Amino acid sequence: MIKRQTVKLPDGTVLPAIGQGTWHIGDDPSKRNTEIAALRRGVELGMHVIDTAEMYGEGLSEELVGEAIHGIRDEVFLVSKVYPHNAGKNRMITSCEQSLRRLKTDHLDLYLLHWRGDIPLAETVEGMERLVEDGKIARWGVSNFDTKDMEELLRVKNGDHCMVNQVLYHLGSRGIEVDLMPWHKERNIPLMAYSPLAQGGSLRKELVQNEIVTKVAAKHNISPFQLLLAWCVRSGQVLALPKSSSEKHVKENAAAYEVMLTKEDLEQLDHAFPAPSNKVPLDII
Ligand SMILES: NC(=O)c1ccc[n+]([C@@H]2O[C@H](COP(=O)([O-])OP(=O)(O)OC[C@H]3O[C@@H](n4cnc5c(N)ncnc54)[C@H](OP(=O)(O)O)[C@@H]3O)[C@@H](O)[C@H]2O)c1
C-alpha cells in the first residue's frame, strides 16, 4: 500500500499533508473554467483541503471555490480566513456569513485569523467560539503568528482551542525551525505551510535549479517542485498548501505526498539550504 503523509489536528481530525491554495485564483475571469477544473481535479486526487480567504480578490477566490466545490462539498475540508480588522466578535460573524454565502455552504471546516491586528486576541477567540457554537465553523486557528503570539494566544480563555497556525515555510525560508516549529511540536498543534513552492521569482528559481535539489529529485524520479512539497511535509507536522491553476501541476503536486525522503536526502538538502541557527523574524508575505 502506498503510504501518504498526513497531519493530525488537536481534535483528532486527520488530513492529507498536501492541500490546495487559492490566492489569485478567481482574479482573471478568462481562467475561470481552467481554475475550477484544476481545483476539482485536486480534490479527486486527494488534496481535499482547500484554503481561501475573504481577502483573496476581495471575495473572488471564495466565489470561485464555491463554484468548484458545488456537488462535492462533503468531500472538501474548507478553510477561509478573516481579515484582522474584521476579527472583532461582532464583525467577525458578518464576515464569516459573507464568506459562507460566497462559498455557497453553511459551514467552514476551519476559520483562521489571517494575521494579528489591533483587536485583542481574547475578543477574536470569543467570536470564533461563538461561530463554533452556532455551527458556522467547525474549528478555528490563526495565521502568521510567531512564538510570542502563540504563547499569548494560549493564555487567553479558550485560546487553547486553536487547531493550527498557517505560516510561510519552504526550503528557502526555514526560520520557523528555530523555535516556532518546536513550540508547535511540543503542543501537538500542526502548522500549515503557505507559499511552499516559494511563489515565483528569483528565490524559487534558485531552489528548483539547485544542483542538490535536482539531484535528489532525480533520484526519486520526481520534479524539483514535488521535492519541495515532499520536503515541506516530511515531519508529519506540516500541511502544505501549493496553489495551482493548472491540472498538470495539480496532478504533480498530489503525487508528492507519496514521496518519503531519506535521512541522506534531508542531510544533503540541509547542506544546500541550512536552517538559521538563531531566531529570525517570521517571514510574511
Ligand atoms: N496565510 C497567509 O498569509 C498566506 C499568504 C500567502 C499564501 N497563502 C496561501 O498559501 C497558498 C500557496 O501559496 P502561494 O500561492 O503564495 O505560492 P506557492 O504555492 O508557493 O506557488 C504558487 C506558484 O507555483 C506554481 N506551481 C504550482 N504547482 C506547480 C508545479 N507542480 N510545477 C510548477 N509550478 C507550480 C503556480 O503556478 P500554476 O498556477 O501555473 O500552477 C504558482 O505560480 C496560497 O494560494 C494561499 O492559499 C496564505
Ligand 1 centroid to Cα of residue 129, in Å, is: 30
Q: Is the model's pTM score more than 0.75?
A: yes
Rounded CA-CA distance 228/196 in Å is 7
Atom 44 of ligand 1: nearest residue by CA position: 21
Q: Which amino acid is at 234?
A: R
Among 88, 37, 27, smallest CA distance to 59 is for 27
Rounded CA-CA distance 137/264 in Å is 42
Ligand 1 centroid to Cα of residue 157, in Å, is: 34
Rounded CA-CA distance 198/264 in Å is 23
Please work out whether the CB of residue 165 comes within 6 Å of at least one atom of ligand 1: no
Number of H helices, E strands in the chain: 11, 10
Return the sign of the alpha-carbon dihedral for residues 150, 156, 160, 162. Answer: negative
- Supply the residues annotated as catalytic: 56
- As given in the structure block, the three cell numbers for residue 8 are 493530525
* Residue count (the chain): 285
pLDDT tens, residue order, the chain (285 aa): 567 899 999 999 999 999 999 999 999 999 999 999 999 999 999 999 999 999 999 999 999 999 999 999 999 999 999 999 999 989 999 999 999 999 999 999 999 999 999 999 999 999 999 999 999 999 999 999 999 999 999 999 999 999 999 999 999 999 999 999 999 999 999 999 999 999 988 999 999 999 999 999 999 999 999 999 999 999 999 999 999 999 999 999 999 988 999 999 999 999 999 999 999 999 998
Ligand 1 centroid to Cα of residue 21, in Å, is: 6
- As given in the structure block, the three cell numbers for residue 174 are 526555514
Rounded CA-CA distance 2/22 in Å is 27
Please work out whether the CB of residue 20 comes within 6 Å of at least one atom of ligand 1: no
Residue with cell string 461561530: 131
Please work out whether the CB of residue 199 comes within 6 Å of at least one atom of ligand 1: yes
Return the sign of the alpha-carbon dihedral for residues 85, 91, 92, 98. Answer: negative
Rounded CA-CA distance 148/154 in Å is 10
